[in-house]
């Protein structure tokens, strides 16, 4: 009896799976849902989930519904690699994530070998420089954003000496190297170069070093939680030189965690929900109504990723992974055609993106867009 | 010079908080041969008790801390002792070690499940404004942390040395059999020790969470450092744990500032190895007899 029942259940499950795969496009989202990157992965995943629901409600892609499965990488590179493989085994047509560069560098080899397009939220320059034909970003690599920051330090702030605090992993090293190159090219001296570890809790010594360096500005390139901790410590030790950052430093979560210590920081942001564009504001409104918190750049990266996937599949015209990857290379999507892509965006042959970005300052716990910078 | 002072003061301030957790280690060891590997999670969990008090019950910071203190003394003091430690005590040290490691995992996962895996901001009791001492910028928060830890430790020492209950606790630690013959209620004294440990963990949590943020995973590094501090200072002396905590706090900061932040954890570890080789009983520990 039990055996018959189990058999029936198995057959039913099998039939269910077959029936589902005929009508759905499976997407595997591998993201940092726990561990030190939980803040990042949650926003990314929530936005993708929202995007998938919207797309399905509007009739899906090429008449097929999307079926999203999310996998928790635990912010661990090896786990993410195993889960990308699992997502592929589960039949994923396309992989979304991871966001942490250290994970992406490892797991993108799996999708490359098996020819599965992968859209990631990672920013380490190396990711699109390895000749992988299946990797695409939904936000800038650091080598695209650092020239904009270096220009701002030199021309906007008139700085000649800068200190840099960075996190010692793939993301941090990529950003650090790009930053140091760009500022040095512009004649700005790096007077303190302080690395820290992922999930580091105590920044007292780091800040003492930055403070004692005589820098005229401090550039912070850490993950969200560590950014909040260092901002609190900078405030605690009474550091009064400008604090400048790139995207993560100006994240809403950092502002929330750092409290008053975040006021006055400035930086370059690839995507911000405070941008004056109506499509972005509309997205921000829907997101916070659905999830009860404010969308950050990671959420926007996720949202752009899912709509990039949708647009690429539609333009490819069929469910052929190679064709979708070819379409994504040199694809340009305008907001006038696809409003949910948020900003006009182009992908190049390496999978790198180009689009406008923003100069932001935190005032009274809110990020205020000071300027819109053209695509480079 | 000012950078050195800065690093020294920050090191002492965080070191004093490590000392609170380390003292808890030595107290439990002294009273009942319990090595509590969930000590870091005890510190982590209190921050969430406070946050629940503030965000769910709508209390202000100080009443929320008071509530967390009571919950902690009951749950992590009395219930922990009665439900986990007492039944395992007759079986020796190892089952307790395993049980507390299991408890640590349970606490971490529960916070992750019921609160979230994300870090939460935690309000500070002290102003974040600063003043200057010998060129170093000192925050009221650092000074406040040092003072509160110092008060807690002095009060504990006075209680243990000057009150009847405190002396009974000392007697229990030194020789439970004789203490019992003399009419000391040993189980009650051990229970007091667990309650004191829970209270110290609450104080440590309230002091460190504004800096480290409240997060499920933050107990691990705190527990490790407190354990190191207790061993370095001497596992069987409260003042040893105090010295160990301060020393580890300062050395951690100094090695991050003057060696390399990549090797910052190496500083305290090297110290630990040197101490174990040269003075296995710890800096201020004694090799015979046990006192609280």
Of the two residues A302 and B280, the one the predictor is more confident about is A302
Of the two residues B267 and A360, the one the predictor is more confident about is A360
Fold held by A143-269 = Rossmann fold (3.40.50)
pLDDT more than 70, % of chain B = 98
DSSP tag of A270: S
For residues A89-94, average pLDDT = 96
Report residue B291's pLDDT band, with 50, 70 and 90 as the boundaries: low
User: Is residue B28 in a domain?
Assistant: yes
Choosing among B40, B118, B255, which should be mutated to test the A contact, i.e. which has the most A CBs within 10 A? B118
Amino acid A20: pLDDT: 41
Tokens linked to A180:
């140091």
- Give the lowest-confidence range in A57-71, A207-221, B59-73, B247-261: B247-261
User: Is residue B289 in a domain?
Assistant: no
Q: Tell me if chain A has a CB within 8 Å of the CB of B6.
A: yes
Report residue A142's pLDDT band, with 50, 70 and 90 as the boundaries: confident
Q: Return the SS3 of A307.
A: helix
Q: Name residue, tokens 């550091």.
A: A239
**pLDDT at residue B261 above 80?**
no
pLDDT tens for A12-21 read 444 444 434 4
User: Is residue B244 in a domain?
Assistant: no
Mean pLDDT of chain A: 91
DSSP tag of A248: G
Chain B residues within an 8 Å CB radius of A35 = 117, 217
3-state secondary structure chain B: CHHHHHHHHHHHHHHHHHHHHHHHHHHHHHHHCCCCCCHHHHHHHHHHHHHHHHHCCCCCHHHHHHHHHHHHHHHHHHHHHHHHHHHHHHHCHHHHHHHHHHHHHHHHHHHHHHCCCCCECCCCCCCCCEEEECCEEEEHHHHHHHHHHHHHHHHHHHHHHHCHHHHHHHHHHHCHHHHHHCCCCHHHHHHHHHHHHHHHHHHHHHHHHHHHCECHHHHHHHHHHHHHHHHHHCCCCHHHHHHHHHHHHHHHHHHHHHHCHHHCCHHHHHHHHHHHHHCCCCCCCCCCCCCC
Q: Tell me if chain B has a CB within 8 Å of the CB of A335.
A: no
Q: Tell me if chain B has a CB within 8 Å of the CB of A194.
A: yes
pLDDT tens for B169-202 read 989 988 889 999 999 999 999 999 999 999 999 9
DSSP tag of A154: I
User: Is residue B250 in a domain?
Assistant: no
- For residue B202, give its domain range: 2-124+133-218
Q: Tell me if chain A has a CB within 8 Å of the CB of B15.
A: no
Domains contained in chain B, number: 1
Give the ipTM. 0.88
Alpha-carbon distance of A24 to A11, in angstroms, equals: 20
Fold held by A2-140+277-355 = Rossmann fold (3.40.50)
- Give the lowest-confidence range in A198-212, A299-313, B259-273: B259-273
For residues B17-21, average pLDDT = 93
For residues A81-98, average pLDDT = 96
User: Is residue B226 in a domain?
Assistant: no
Beta carbon pairs, A and B, within 8 Å: 107
For residues B261-265, average pLDDT = 78
**pLDDT at residue A3 above 80?**
no
Amino acid B292: pLDDT: 57
Exposure string for B211-236, b = 16+ CB within 10 A, e = fewer: bbbbbbbbbebbbbbbbbbbbbbbbb
For residues B219-236, average pLDDT = 90
What's the number of CA atoms in the CB half-sphere (13 Å) around residue A162?
A: 30
Amino acid A14: pLDDT: 43
**Distance from the Cα of residue B35 to its chain's centroid:** 13
Amino acid A141: pLDDT: 86
Report residue A7's pLDDT band, with 50, 70 and 90 as the boundaries: very low
**pLDDT at residue A38 above 90?**
no
pLDDT tens for B37-58 read 999 999 999 999 999 999 999 9
Q: Give the sign of the dihedral formed by CA A304, CA A306, CA A311, CA A313.
A: positive
Report residue B116's pLDDT band, with 50, 70 and 90 as the boundaries: confident
For residues B88-101, average pLDDT = 90
Report residue A72's pLDDT band, with 50, 70 and 90 as the boundaries: very high
Amino acid A12: pLDDT: 44
For residues A297-321, average pLDDT = 96
Q: Strands A189-196 and A353-354, how do they pair?
A: unpaired
Report residue A350's pLDDT band, with 50, 70 and 90 as the boundaries: very high
User: Is residue B235 in a domain?
Assistant: no
Q: Tell me if chain B has a CB within 8 Å of the CB of A211.
A: yes
What's the number of CA atoms in the CB half-sphere (13 Å) around residue A273?
A: 23
Q: Tell me if chain A has a CB within 8 Å of the CB of B221.
A: yes
For residues B217-243, average pLDDT = 90
**pLDDT at residue A226 above 50?**
yes
pLDDT tens for A328-344 read 998 999 999 999 999 99
Cβ distance of A238 and B211 shorter than 8 Å: no
Report residue A9's pLDDT band, with 50, 70 and 90 as the boundaries: very low
8 A C-beta contact, residue B128 and residue B140: yes
Residues carrying CATH 3.40.50.2300, chain A: 2-140+277-355, 143-269
pLDDT tens for B150-163 read 999 999 999 999 99
The angle at the Cα of B123, spanning B121 to B127, to the nearest 5 degrees, equals 130
For residues B221-233, average pLDDT = 92
Report residue A289's pLDDT band, with 50, 70 and 90 as the boundaries: very high
For residues A205-233, average pLDDT = 94
């Amino acid at each position: 009896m039990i055996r018959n029942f189990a058999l029936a259940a198995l057959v039913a499950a099998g039939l269910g799976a077959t029936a589902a795969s005929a009508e759905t496009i499976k997407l595997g989202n591998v993201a940092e849902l726990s561990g030190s990157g939980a803040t990042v992965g949650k926003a990314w995943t929530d936005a993708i989930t929202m995007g998938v629901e919207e797309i399905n409600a509007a009739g899906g892609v090429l008449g097929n519904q999307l079926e999203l499965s999310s996998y928790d990488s635990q912010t661990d590179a090896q786990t993410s690699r195993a889960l990308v493989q699992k997502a592929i085994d589960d039949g994923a047509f396309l992989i979304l994530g991871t966001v942490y560069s250290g994970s992406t560098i490892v797991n993108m080899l799996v999708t490359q070998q098996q020819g599965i397009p992968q859209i990631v939220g990672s920013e380490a320059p190396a990711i699109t420089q390895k000749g992988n034909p299946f990797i695409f970003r939904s936000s800038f690599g650091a080598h695209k954003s650092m020239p904009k920051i270096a220009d701002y330090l030199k021309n906007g702030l008139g700085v000649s000496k800068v200190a840099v605090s960075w996190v010692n992993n793939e993301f941090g090293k990529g950003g650090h190297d790009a930053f140091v190159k760009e500022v040095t090219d512009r004649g700005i001296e790096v007077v303190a170069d302080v690395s820290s570890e992922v999930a580091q809790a105590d920044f007292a010594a780091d800040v003492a070093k930055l403070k004692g360096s005589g820098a005229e500005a401090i550039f912070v390139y850490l993950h969200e939680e560590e950014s909040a901790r260092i901002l609190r410590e900078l405030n605690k030790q009474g550091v009064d030189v400008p604090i400048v950052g790139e995207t993560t430093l100006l994240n809403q979560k950092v502002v929330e965690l750092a409290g008053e210590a975040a006021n006055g920081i400035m930086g370059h942001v690839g995507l911000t929900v405070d941008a004056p564009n109506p499509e972005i504001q509309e997205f921000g409104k829907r997101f916070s109504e659905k999830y009860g918190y404010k969308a950050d750049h990671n959420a926007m990266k996720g949202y752009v990723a899912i709509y990039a996937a949708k647009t690429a599949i539609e333009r490819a015209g069929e469910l052929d992974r190679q064709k979708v990857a070819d379409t994504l290379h040199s694809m340009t999507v305008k907001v006038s055609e696809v409003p949910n892509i948020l900003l006009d965006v182009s992908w190049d042959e390496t999978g790198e993106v180009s689009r406008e970005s923003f100069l932001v300052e935190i005032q009274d716990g809110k990020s205020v867009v000071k300027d819109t910078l053209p695509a480079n | 010079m000012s950078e050195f002072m800065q690093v020294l003061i920050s090191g002492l301030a965080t070191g004093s908080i490590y000392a609170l957790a380390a003292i808890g280690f030595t107290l439990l060891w002294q009273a009942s041969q319990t090595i509590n590997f969930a000590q870091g999670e005890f510190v982590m969990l209190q921050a969430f008790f406070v946050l629940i008090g503030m965000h769910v019950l709508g209390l202000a910071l100080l009443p929320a801390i008071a509530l967390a203190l009571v919950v902690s003394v009951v749950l992590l003091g009395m219930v922990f002792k009665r439900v986990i430690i007492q039944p395992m005590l007759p079986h020796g040290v190892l089952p307790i070690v395993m049980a507390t490691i299991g408890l640590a995992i349970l606490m971490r996962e529960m916070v992750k499940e019921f609160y979230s895996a994300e870090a939460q901001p935690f309000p500070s009791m002290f102003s974040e404004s600063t003043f200057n001492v010998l060129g170093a910028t000192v925050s009221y928060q650092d000074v406040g942390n040092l003072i509160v830890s110092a008060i807690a430790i002095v009060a504990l020492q006075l209680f243990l040395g000057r009150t009847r209950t405190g002396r009974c606790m000392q007697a229990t630690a030194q020789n439970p059999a004789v203490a019992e013959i003399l009419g000391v209620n040993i189980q009650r004294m051990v229970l007091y020790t667990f309650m004191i440990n829970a209270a110290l963990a609450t104080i440590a949590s309230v002091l460190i969470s504004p800096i480290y943020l409240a997060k499920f995973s933050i107990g691990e590094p705190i527990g490790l450092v407190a354990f190191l501090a207790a061993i370095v200072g001497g596992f069987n002396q409260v003042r040893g744990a105090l010295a160990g905590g301060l020393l580890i706090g300062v050395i951690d900061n100094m090695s991050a500032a003057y060696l390399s932040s990549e090797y910052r954890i190496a500083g305290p570890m090297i110290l630990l190895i040197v101490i174990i080789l040269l003075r296995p009983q710890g800096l201020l520990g004694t090799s015979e007899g046990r006192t609280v």
